[in-house]
Amino acid sequence: MSRSGGEPEERWTGVDRYVTDLLLGADPALDAALEASAAAGLPDIQVSAPYGKMLHLLARAARARRILEIGTLGGYSAIWLARALPADGRLVTCELDPKHAEVARGNLERAGLGDRVEVHVGPALETLRGLASEGAEPFDMVFIDADKPGYPDYLELSLQLSRAGTVIVADNVIRRGDILDGSSGDPNVQAMRRFHERLASEKRISATAVQTVGGKGYDGFVLAVVTE
From the list ligand SAH, ligand DHB, Mg ion, none, pick the one residue 93 interacts with, judged by a Cβ distance below 5 to 8 Å according to partner type. Answer: none
From the list ligand SAH, Mg ion, ligand DHB, none, pick the one residue 27 interacts with, judged by a Cβ distance below 5 to 8 Å according to partner type. Answer: none
By CB under 5 A, tell whether 140 contacts Mg ion. no
Q: Which of 45, 121, 132, 136 binds ligand DHB (CB under 6 A)?
A: 45
Q: Which residues bind ligand SAH (CB under 6 A)?
A: 45-47, 71-73, 76-77, 94-97, 100, 123-124, 145-147, 150
- Shortest Å, Cβ 122 to ligand SAH: 7
Q: What is the CA radius of gyration of the chain?
A: 17
By CB under 5 A, tell whether 171 contacts Mg ion. yes
Instruction: Name the strands in the sheet holding 167-171, side by side, starting at the edge strand that comes first in the sequence.
Output: 117-121, 90-95, 66-70, 141-144, 167-171, 217-226, 205-214
- What's phi and psi for 132, nearest 5 deg? -65, -40
Q: How far is CA 198 from the centre of its chain?
A: 19
Q: Are 120 and 95 in contact (CB under 8 A)?
A: yes
Residues that bind ligand DHB (CB under 6 A): 45, 145, 171-172, 216
